[in-house]
Amino acid sequence: MNTQNAIVTVSANFRSHKPRFSRTRSAKERWTKPVSKAFYEKLRLRCEQIFEEMRYGSGWVMNFMPAVDRYISTGETPGMCDEGIRIVFICLRYEIDMALERSAKARKRAAERREAKEAAQTATPADEPHQKEKGTLPTDTADAFSPDCKAETFSPTTEPGSEIRIQRNNREESS
């Protein structure tokens, strides 16, 4: 018996199977920075423009953006580096801080909306279809928006201000 062919056959079958991954790989890479892609791209283009104006050349952006990434992720400012990088960083630091704050607020609002949506889904039974008519409010929100005063106290012919004047005059006459 030829054992050499059997080994090749086994290893050939083993190679023909593709390894299975526990997760699927997406073609789109996930954005992990705490600022928006649009801001980051505008910042990069602005840095290129500033370095060109300083006559450093746009290639310095490759040295500058890692410092920005470190500041965005950890808050660490550039230490011992070229003076041009420090100057550009100092000029753009306020904008970066504002973008970080804006993004944090947006993430907070999105989390609140997500929680409200989940709470609404758990509060509303899935079996019961929504039967809303256009222009009507649910009874619980209608009660929340109703005024404290009674509707019949105000007539469309009299102004609320005139009734206040009448009440004030009655008080003055009685005293």
Instruction: In whole angstroms, give the CA distance from residue 12 to residue 35.
Output: 49
Report which listed range, 91-95, 133-137, 157-161, is most confident: 91-95
pTM of the model: 0.52
Any idea what the Cα angle at residue 76 is, between residues 101 and 41, rounded to 5°?
55
Between residues 77 and 127, which one has the greater pLDDT?
77
Contact 87, 67 (CB under 8 A): no
Amino acid at 151: A
Residue 9: pLDDT band with limits 50, 70, 90: very low
Tens digit of each residue's pLDDT (9 = 90 or more) over 118-147: 988 887 765 555 555 555 555 555 555 545
φ/ψ (deg, to 5) at 149: -80, 160
φ/ψ (deg, to 5) at 9: -65, -45
